[in-house]
Amino acid sequence: MRKILTIVTLVFCVFFASAQSQTVQPKVDERTELMSIIFRLAGAKEYVNNNIPSYAKEIDDYFAPFKDYDVIKFAQKLRIEQGVSYDAVMSMAVALEISDSVRLCKNLSPLSIDNRWGMDKVNEFVPLLNKFYFDTKFKEFFSNHSALYKIAESRFSGIINDVDFVWFEKFFGKKVKGSFNLILSLPNGGGNYGPKVILNDGTEELYAIMGSCVADSLGQPSYSKRVAETVIHEYNHSFCNPLIEANFPAMELASIKIFKQLKDKLSSQAYGDPITMEYETLVRACVISYYQRNGVDENVLKRQVASEIAKGFIWIDKLVDLLSVYEKNRDKYPTLSDFMPEIIKLESSLSPEKILKEREANAPKIVSISIQDKSKEVDPDITEITLTFDRPMLFKNGVSYGKQGETCFPEFLDKKSKWNEETKKQWTFYIKLEPEKDYSMSFPSQFFYDTNYYSLDKTYYLDFRTRK
């Protein structure tokens, strides 16, 4: 969920035109725009962004007179006291309907309400939301931006054609009782979510709610084709989360043991408890299985597995291998639900301490940086920084914000970074420095891999100040 700035980003994704069981059209939805704006006004950091600067400014200007409304104060209280944030906000959005008023969907099953809300709080929140909707003339605001929304929808439509929707039913062995829905939510920034709405008649509406847009040179929403992998990820949540919830009592002890070792790393990505870690682990393994089924190059898959391990999903390689066993024995395991005892058995057998110790022993290291950390008299005429590693590396690389944040991040020259072709141990990137200024950057572990697909042993930081 976090936004990371890189010089060069090698992202795992390969796209396939596949037969689809249905047509899925991306749409900007009034409900998600409403909820996203509510939590932007409430100061929820994950909904405060300016990815589309002109739209963000129009939101702030238009709704400024309503920032003290009761629904905004209530949203702030829900966030502080009950943790209503991130996906909980979007799960409520799709549980709503807007016609003559804003209200919960007819025949909505209580299973659709995220535990962070609770029905009592929902019943308090919805009338306040309805008042905000009418007093602000939200429908008019939404209609006035239809041209912007159509641009987003048009630009995303080609991406969705590359998703194989048939795979979900085949892989999970579970027939979808409703439909796939794809919503573009422009105020969501880098946040993407995969909620599901369950009705009392058993109908299930599956959602992928996509932020992941940036402004082009004209300030209009633009999407990279790489976002297709995120669409697949979010739809997997609708299948994986219920499996984890149904089996979590049997997984809980092993989950707690693993989460304890990775708490800081996972929490920094907004995965703040063991069950959320389990959701993400299974979803990410299933995404890799999706690409395996579609014939992705083995080296690409290895890099993706390594990337997930570096993010803290330390046993995903073993889970991916186990899912291959599931795929080869579908006569014995018609559904992934039938196979969950095998996943539980595997996880319970793991020693996270042993896995981490092994990875630490095998991980590559940065042995030197051409500018020494905490230097105070760095020449401002320097235009390049070189990292030296203890072994040959693969060509994945990047730089992110350092300990002092975005304001101390350097400007990069319009020149491609390069590796030493002979040793493959040195990586150089190019920057523009100013005199008497503090600079801060980091080299995240998941940005660098050796030839055996081990990521860096840790994230390295570089802070320095230039002289006159």
For residue 181, give the DSSP letter: E
**Strand, helix or coil at 460?**
strand
Q: Which residues contact 164 (CB under 8 A, 6 or more apart)?
A: 16, 18, 19, 20, 290, 294
Can you state the angle between helices 274-293 and 228-267, rounded to 10 degrees?
150
CA distance 288 to 305: 8
Q: What is the pLDDT of residue 10?
A: 33
Structural tokens at position 308: 């997930």
- Length of the chain equals 468
**Strand, helix or coil at 281?**
helix
Give mean pLDDT, residues 137-142: 98
Between 302 and 66, the more confident residue is 66
Using alpha carbons only, give the angle 173, 259, 47 rounded to the nearest 5 degrees: 80
pLDDT-derived band of residue 303, with 50, 70 and 90 as boundaries? confident
Give mean pLDDT, residues 355-382: 96
Q: What is the pLDDT of residue 446?
A: 87
Single-letter residue type at 436: E
- Following DSSP, what letter does each residue of 366-410 receive, concatenated? EEEESS-TTEEEE-TT--EEEEEESS-B-S----EE-TT-GGGPP
**Strand, helix or coil at 357?**
helix
Alpha helices in 43-195, H assignment, sequence order: 53-63, 70-82, 87-93, 119-135, 138-144, 146-160, 166-172
Residue ranges matching CATH 2.60.40.1220 in the chain: 366-466
- 181 phi and psi angles, rounded to 5 deg: -130, 135
Give mean pLDDT, residues 316-343: 98
Sign for the pseudo-dihedral over CA of 96, 102, 107, 109: positive
Residue-wise pLDDT tens digits, 336-355: 999 999 999 999 999 999 99
Residue-wise pLDDT tens digits, 159-210: 888 789 999 999 999 998 889 999 999 999 889 999 999 999 999 999 999 9
CA distance 169 to 149: 31
Alpha helices in 217-267, H assignment, sequence order: 228-267
Structural tokens at position 149: 């929304």
Cβ-based neighbour number of residue 260 at 10 Å: 11
The β-bridge relationship of strands 102-104 and 179-184 is unpaired
Q: Are 336 and 171 in contact (CB under 8 A)?
A: yes
Q: Are 31 and 89 in contact (CB under 8 A)?
A: no
Among residues 60, 63, 50, the alpha carbon closest in space to that of 211 is found at 50
Residue-wise pLDDT tens digits, 198-255: 999 999 999 999 998 899 999 999 998 889 999 999 999 999 999 999 999 999 999 9
Q: Answer yes or no: is pLDDT of 394 > 80.
A: yes
Q: Answer yes or no: is pLDDT of 9 > 70.
A: no
Q: Are 398 and 8 in contact (CB under 8 A)?
A: yes
Q: What is the pLDDT of residue 160?
A: 84
Q: What is the pLDDT of residue 22?
A: 52
Between 16 and 232, the more confident residue is 232
Tokens 């979010």 -> residue: 234
Tokens 């605001």 -> residue: 141
Structural tokens at position 207: 């959602």
Residue-wise pLDDT tens digits, 19-74: 344 579 999 999 999 999 999 999 999 999 999 999 999 999 999 999 999 999 99
Q: Which CATH number describes the domain made up of 366-466?
A: 2.60.40.1220
Taking only Cα atoms into account, the Rg of the chain, rounded to an integer number of angstroms, comes to 23
CA distance 184 to 231: 11
Q: Answer yes or no: is pLDDT of 97 > 60.
A: yes
What rounded mean pLDDT belongs to the chain?
A: 92
